[in-house]
Structure formats: C-alpha cells, structure tokens
Amino acid sequence: MMISILDVGDACYMRSLTGLSLSQFETLLETLSAVYQEMRQQTYEAECAAGIRQRQPF
C-alpha cells in the first residue's frame, strides 16, 4: 500500500511515518527530486556519449 503525501493530513501522523514535519519533508522531497533529475540527466548524457542511448528519457 502506497501512501501519498496528500493522504497524510495530520501532522502527528506525518511525523510518525517519516520523523519529519510536513514542511521538512517537502523541503527534503524537493532537494531529493532535484538531485535525482540531475543524476538521470548525467546518466543520459554519458550513455549518449558512449553510443549506448539514443532516445531521451521521459
């Protein structure tokens, strides 16, 4: 069962799930999302340079 951030309406429930407040989690989510996208881009560029990949990721 997956829990969306939208399903967690109670601050106490959010803290028990993650150990973070909702605002702290949102900040962490933004940071991790940016790092993940950068890693995907670097992998794509490296694979293009090596001739492994031709299509762009979604």
Give percent of the chain above pLDDT 90.
22
Structural domain spans, the chain = 30-58
User: How confident is the model over 25-53, as pLDDT tens digits?
Assistant: 889 989 999 999 999 999 988 988 888 87
Q: pLDDT band at 1, cuts 50/70/90?
A: very low
How many CB atoms are closer than 10 A to CB 14?
19
Please indicate whether residue 57 or residue 36 has the higher confidence score (pLDDT): 36
pTM (2 d.p.): 0.65
- Interval 4-29 mean pLDDT: 80
Q: Residue 19 in contact with residue 25, Cβ under 8 Å?
A: no
